A and B are shown apart, each in its own frame.
Chain A
Amino acid sequence: MFINFFLELRQAKVPASLREYLTLLEAMREGVADHKVEDFYFLSRACLVKDERNLDKFDRVFGKCFNGLEFLSEETTAEIPEEWLRKLAEKVLTEDEKKMIEALGGWEKLMETLKKRLEEQKGRHQGGSKWIGTAGTSPFGAYGYNPEGVRIGQDKSRNRRAVKVWDKREYRNLDDTVELGTRNIKVALRRLRQFARDGAELELDLPDTIRSTANNAGYLDLKMVPERRNKVKVLLLFDIGGSMDDHIRVCEELFSAARTEFKHMEFFYFHNCLYEKLWKDNRRRHSEFLPTWDVLHKYGHDYKVIFVGDATMSPYEIVYPGGSVEHWNEEAGQAWLQRVTTIYPKVAWLNPVPEKYWEHTPSIQVIRQLMTDRMYPLTLGGLERAMRELSR
C-alpha cells in the first residue's frame, strides 16, 4: 500500500526494514491511526524511524511522497466539488491535456471515473485507511493535479494547518551530520572501549567458585578474578592557534568528552604541522615543551593516536625542512608524521573542515596521503568512522 513510500525511505538512507513496514501495515489494520493524516504520520514515524538522527530525513521523504495529498474523509468523498475541480483544471491543464480529457470521453465521464475510482479504493483499503495512492495507475494523477498542490476533495476546514507537521522539520538539529555536542561525542568515542581483565583479583568468580566447589566435594573453594576495565590508550594531538581558532568550540567539546571517556589519555598541542616540539600548555609553549622524540619513545605502540587539526596551511610547511611559519625546523613535518604512522599502527586525523572542501586545499590532500586516507571530518558521523577504524 505504501511500498513507494517505504522504498523512498530506504533510498534516503533511513534504515527501515521489511519487518518494520509490516508492523506499520499491521497497526493500520488494527486501526491505530484512524481518519487523520497526522495520525498516520505519527504512526509511520513510530514504526519506521528508530533513531532521532533519522527523523529529519523521514520528514523530508514524507513531505515528498505525500506532497499535496490530503486525507479524504467520508463526507468529502461523497461530494466532490465539481465546479471547483473544473475551474482548477482549466487553470492548471494545458490545451493538449484538455484535448486528452476530451479524448477520454469528456469532463463528465472523467468525473464519473474519478468517483468510481475513489469508491474502489475505499473498498480495497480496509480498516479505516482511505488513501488515494501515489501510484500512477489513475489517469487523474497523470494530469498533474497533485504535483501542483491541487488537492482532490478538499474543503475549507482542511486548510486550518498553515504548515504541516512534517514540513516544520523540527528534528533538523538531530541529524548527525550537523550537531556535535559533548554528550554525543562521548557516545561516539565509546566505540573505542576495550575491556580487559587486568590487575588485582578483586571480584568473586561465581561460576568458577561453584565449579571448583563441586570438584572439591562440596567444600567451599573461592575463586577470584580481576575487575573488567577499559584498557584503551589514547594519545591526542591538537593543532592550536591560527586557522584553528574558528574551530575552538568543537575541539573543546571533543577534548572534554575524550577526557572523561578514556582513563589512559594523553594530549599534546602542535601548531599547523607536527615538528620536533610538542607542548601541554599553550601559554608557555616557548618555555615548556617536550621533544617529539621523547613523546614517541614514552608512549608505546599500543596507544591510538588521534590528530585534531584543520591541516590547512601552505604545503611547504609539510614538505620542506624549514617550512614552519614559527621557527626553523631541521626536518620536514612530513618526516615527523611518517614517524608517527610507522610507530603507531592506529592513527586517525580528525579534521573540523567540512569534507566537501578538502579537495580544494592542497595541504589537506598531502596530509591525507601521509595518513593513508585515515582522515575523517569532525562530525558525529566522521568520528564514528574514525573510531571504527581505530578499534579495528
Chain B
Amino acid sequence: MKFSGTDSYVATEDLNVAVNAAITLERPLLVKGEPGTGKTVLAHEIAKALSRPLITWHIKSTTKAQQGLYEYDAVSRLRDSQLGDARVQDVRNYIHKGKLWEAFTAPERPVLLIDEVDKADIEFPNDLLLELDRMEFYVYETRETVQAVNRPVVIITSNNEKELPDAFLRRCFFHYIRFPDRETMQQIVDVHFPGIQKELVREALNIFYDIRETPGLKKKPSTSELLDWLKLLMVEDIPPDALRSKDSSKLIPPLHGALLKNEQDVHLFERLAFIARRERGGN
C-alpha cells in the first residue's frame, strides 16, 4: 500500500512521504494548510487510490468526542419504557454507533477522515487520545470493549482556529500543505482540465499569482478558487487575449468574482490596477 497521488490529485513528494508514513505505522496524519489547498480532498483521494471505503466525520463547534464513539439514546428508551415496548429490555437497541466505531469494525481497512478538528471544543482532541492511539474504547452501557479489527488510516484536517494539545500532536504525523508553486499549480490545472488551452492557463496563472502577490489583500485566492475561475473562463469561452490585454478599459480580470471574495479586496485591486495603468500611460 503506497500512496503517490492519483490521476485527479497532484501530491507533492513530501506529502507522499507523510501519507505513507501514516499508512505504514498506522498512526493518524494531521494535515494543515491554507483554506482551499486540498486538505479534505486528500482523504478522498487516498481512499480512492487504495480503493478503500471512506468514512468522514465532520466536526462542528458542538461536536463531542463521545459522538464519534457511540451515543446512548436515553430519551427514546425512556419513551419505550413508558409505552411498554419489548425492545427496552436490551440496552443495545438504544446505542447508536458513531463514526469511529463504524471505522473500527469495518470489514475492510477504511480511511477515516476527521474533518476540521479545530472547530470543536478545545478539549475535543484530548478526549480522543486513547481511542486514536490504541484504536479501542469501552462502552459503559453494555460493558464491552470495541477494538479495531483493522486499524483505519486516519486523516485529520485542521484550519488552525484552535491550537491542538501537545499530547495529541505527539501521536500524529504532521504535514503542512504549502501553497503550490507555479509548476505544481500547472500540474494541478492539467489534472483537472486536461483539454484546456495552454495559452489560457498561462495567462490565467499570471493573473492569479499577481493577485496573490497584491499587498494587503484580506483573503488571498487559493487553489480551489483558481480552478473555479478557470472553469468559468472555459464555460464563458473567454479567449486568452482577453486576459492579456493590458490597456483595455477593464482594469480587473474578467469574472474576478471567483477569485476575490471581499468587496474591499476588489476595490483595492481596482485601485492598484488603476495606478499601474496610469504609470504605464505616463511612460
List residues of chain A with CB under 8 Å of any chain B CB: 15, 17, 19-20, 23, 26-27, 30, 32-33, 38-39, 41-43, 45-47, 49-52, 55, 165, 170-171, 174, 183-184, 186-187, 190, 206, 210, 213, 218, 220, 249
Q: Could you tell me the distance in whole angstroms from the C-beta of B65 to the nearest C-beta in chain A?
A: 16
Bound form: Cα–Cα A220–B81 in Å = 12
Among A20, A50, A186, A218, the one with the most B-chain Cβ atoms within 10 Å of its Cβ is: A50
Task: Enumerate chain B residues within 8 angstroms of A20, measured Cβ to Cβ.
Answer: 170
Q: A50-B166, A220-B78 are in contact. List 13 more A-B contacts (CB 8 A).
A: A27-B21, A32-B24, A33-B21, A38-B13, A39-B17, A42-B17, A43-B21, A46-B14, A46-B21, A51-B174, A165-B14, A171-B178, A210-B78
Of all chain B residues, the one with the shortest Cβ separation from A193 is B122
Residue from B18, B161, B169 in contact with A42 in the complex, judged by beta carbons closer than 8 Å: B18
Check A15 against B166 for contact (C-beta < 8 Å): yes
Q: Could you tell me the distance in whole angstroms from the C-beta of A323 to the nearest C-beta in chain B?
A: 36
Given contacts A20-B170, A187-B160, A218-B81, contact A206 B74 (CB under 8 A): yes
Residue from B81, B161, B175 in contact with A46 in the complex, judged by beta carbons closer than 8 Å: B175
Task: Enumerate chain A residues within 8 angstroms of B75, measured Cβ to Cβ.
Answer: 206
Check A23 against B27 for contact (C-beta < 8 Å): yes
Q: Which residues of B from 132 to 165 have beta carbons under 8 Å from A?
A: 160-164
Check A27 against B162 for contact (C-beta < 8 Å): no
Task: Enumerate chain A residues within 8 angstroms of B74, measured Cβ to Cβ.
Answer: 206, 210
Task: Enumerate chain B residues within 8 angstroms of A19, measured Cβ to Cβ.
Answer: 170
List residues of chain B with CB under 8 Å of any chain A CB: 13-14, 17-18, 20-21, 24-25, 27, 29-30, 32, 74-75, 78, 81-82, 160-164, 166, 169-170, 172-176, 178, 216
Bound form: Cα–Cα A87–B75 in Å = 84
Check A46 against B162 for contact (C-beta < 8 Å): no
Q: Could you tell me the distance in whole angstroms from the C-beta of A230 to the nearest C-beta in chain B?
A: 12
Among B17, B32, B162, the one with the most A-chain Cβ atoms within 10 Å of its Cβ is: B17
Bound form: Cα–Cα A165–B27 in Å = 25
Q: Could you tell me the distance in whole angstroms from the C-beta of B264 to the nearest C-beta in chain A?
A: 11
Check A187 against B161 for contact (C-beta < 8 Å): yes
Bound form: Cα–Cα A55–B162 in Å = 18
Bound form: Cα–Cα A213–B81 in Å = 12
Q: Could you tell me the distance in whole angstroms from the C-beta of A125 to the nearest C-beta in chain B?
A: 18
Check A190 against B25 for contact (C-beta < 8 Å): no
5 closest A-B pairs by CB: A50-B169, A42-B17, A42-B14, A46-B18, A52-B176
Check A30 against B25 for contact (C-beta < 8 Å): yes
